Amino acid sequence: MQLLLLLEAEHGHTHMERVETDQNKMLEENNMQGLMQDWPLLCSKIIDHAALYHGDREVISRSVEGPIHRTNYSSIHARSRQVAKRLEKDGIAMGDRVATMAWNTWRHLEAWYGILGIGAVYHTLNPRLFPDQIAWIMNDAEDRFLFVDLTFMPIVEAIANKVPSLEKIVVLTDAAHMPETKLTNVVAYEDWVNEVDDDFAWREFDEKSAAGMCYTSGTTGNPKGVVYSHRSNVLHAMAASQPDMMNLSSRDRMMPVVPLFHANGWATAFLCPMVGASMVLPGPGMDGQSIYQLLTQERVTMTAAVPTVWLMLLQHLDKIDGTLPDLESVVIGGSACPRAITRAFQDKYGVDVIHAWGMTEMSPLGTICTIKPEYADLDGEAKLDLQEKQGHPPFTVEMKITDDENKSLPWDGETFGRLKVRGPAVSSAYFKGQGAENFDAENWFDTGDVAHVDPHGYMEITDRAKDVIKSGGEWISTIELENLAVGHDDVAEAAVIGVVHPKWDERPLLVIVPMEGRNPDKQDILEFMRPKIAKWWMPDDVEFVEEIPHTATGKIQKTVLRQQFKDYRFPGT
Ligand code: ADP
């Protein structure tokens, strides 16, 4: 051994390095190239495809001005080329960041394709963040232009002078609806875009170039910029539309209620035109009644959003005794989908629930809970048990669970550990190198989620790593307790946090928002939960509150809740 080390030192490289070099040389010499065309996977090709083969397919929007607006892929294609031409006329070029702060409408879609078609980068801003946070994000991204909906003009007026890189603000409306504003460099989209025609050829460049940006909310620390490439968006859309994933086709009328500014719009802006599905865009109408109206009037077959949106819709349906005759499936993700929602959609309205897990960093799809043959015979409660899982990944996503020492854990459906992923539509880094500790040398990205995986590859999130409760050295899943608690008729929303305990380090405290008009009883709720979980998982106490704090993307803000209960002590401790 010593001799080998000595020899290696003498020759300047290790034995292993020598073997690797020889192997690489051999691979290079024997490499026979495929004789297929180098057709760069650019996102502009998606809207080309939609216009060519699905040109008449409708894109229907609730406009910000009010009326329902109808167009099709052929027209979106033409108008997005106008946007591209107009942007170039204004000096926007390859690599420039162009922000959007807008609802889901046809104009937003045209802006996306126009921006990315010249190699510029669409950057979606979440208007639900604090204005200062939006300004911080715009400065970090160095946005040059902003497309904005009328609704958000007050935010822009408050922050525009804090973003020195911002040159022009394009308001997504026509001249007749332009608001009074003190800001200079503000134009009406329709006037601006109609200064040019649609005689424009998409720019061609490397498929690995940036196409879009979206910042994660960053519950701790500053938000981090995720940068999608053209290649990652195209591959992701192909993977996500497959039958065992979203199963989207030209026969669908898809309504993305999830905003384009949340996690790459769940890729719907690419998925729908790629398969030729019609799009029904809800614009600013995010309440139960408006969503119901579009779902029924426009005969929507598939829709997608976070659980809180569906709670609102189900409450509305209850109130008006509504039905959903055309809707076939609803994709639910962003946070764990409560069993009560799945049950109501499936049993009461005949709509399949597709539970999905994803992240901004994953473009965003990670897993989907569709039924593999191994589980095809499940029904009733057993099927609902399966649907509480977040599901299995598409081709292009590899996943593993590990302990704190990065050792892989078994897929037995019980052992939980840190969930790590990699693939061609998973981030390899954040913008400007932030958060480098989340990525390892083999490209595994640490999701920050804690999960178990069953022998058929179905993953179930049990917690965020930051939220898991460590009681006497063992982990308790807060999400599992929350899912259980919301199954009680008196509970509208539930959150579980760890509170210090003199003997066990931490024990679970259950925080509940009661259902409107109900007066729940602590013991009754605990007795409801007791037969369904291990004794040591039972919450030590229940607290009732009027409201649970949420993030801008609808997630329970455990950091704020923990702060709120920082002085709380369990009875007798
Ligand atoms: P943001 O952090 O900006 O709110 P993301 O959508 O990227 O946006 O958040 C991703 C996180 O959301 C995941 O890491 C996970 O913790 C949570 N999440 C997403 N979908 C689910 C789901 N179906 N069940 C449980 N948690 C989920």
pTM of the full structure: 0.90
Least trusted range by pLDDT, from 26-30, 353-357, 422-426, 521-525: 26-30
Query: Which residue out of 339, 449, 468 has the highest number of ligand 1 atoms within 8 Å of its CB and is therefore the one to mutate?
Result: 449
Predicted confidence band at 202 (pLDDT cuts at 50, 70, 90)?
A: very high
- Rounded to an integer, the average pLDDT of 219-240 is 92
Give yes or no for residue 4 having a pLDDT over 80. Answer: no
Whether 359 lines ligand 1, by a CB cut-off of 6 Å, is yes
- What is the whole-number distance in angstroms between the Cα of residue 413 and the centre of ligand 1? 20
Whether 553 lines ligand 1, by a CB cut-off of 6 Å, is yes
Whether 555 lines ligand 1, by a CB cut-off of 6 Å, is yes
Give yes or no for residue 358 having a pLDDT over 70. Answer: yes
Active site residues: 216, 361, 470, 475
Q: In 268-346, at which residue ranges do the beta strands (DSSP E only) sit?
A: 278-281, 302-305, 329-332
Q: What is the dihedral of CA 106, 111, 116, 118, to 10 degrees?
A: 130
Ligand 1 nearest atom to the CA of residue 219, by list position: 2
Report the mean per-residue pLDDT for the chain: 94
Q: What is the pLDDT of residue 3?
A: 46
Whether 357 lines ligand 1, by a CB cut-off of 6 Å, is yes
User: Using CA positions, which residue lies closest to atom 9 of ligand 1?
Assistant: 359
The residue behind tokens 């499940």 is 378
pLDDT in tens, 463-488: 888 898 988 878 888 988 998 999 89
Token output for 289: 């009644």
Q: What is the pLDDT of residue 219?
A: 57
How many other C-beta atoms can be found within 10 angstroms of the C-beta atom of residue 266?
27
User: Using CA positions, which residue lies closest to atom 12 of ligand 1?
Assistant: 334
Q: In 291-435, at which residue ranges do the beta strands (DSSP E only) sit?
A: 302-305, 329-332, 352-358, 365-368, 398-402, 417-422
Query: Which residue out of 215, 216, 335, 486 has the highest number of ligand 1 atoms within 8 Å of its CB and is therefore the one to mutate?
Result: 335
Residue 345: DSSP 8-state? I
Whether 463 lines ligand 1, by a CB cut-off of 6 Å, is no
- What is the whole-number distance in angstroms between the Cα of residue 343 and the centre of ligand 1? 22
Percent of the chain with pLDDT over 90: 84
Q: Are 474 and 433 in contact (CB under 8 A)?
A: no
Q: Are 359 and 263 in contact (CB under 8 A)?
A: yes
Whether 264 lines ligand 1, by a CB cut-off of 6 Å, is no
Whether 478 lines ligand 1, by a CB cut-off of 6 Å, is no
Whether 459 lines ligand 1, by a CB cut-off of 6 Å, is no
Amino acid letter, residue 310:
W
Ligand 1 nearest atom to the CA of residue 362, by list position: 7
pLDDT in tens, 138-165: 999 999 999 999 999 999 999 999 999 9
Distance CA 81, CA 89 (A): 12
Ligand 1 nearest atom to the CA of residue 359, by list position: 7
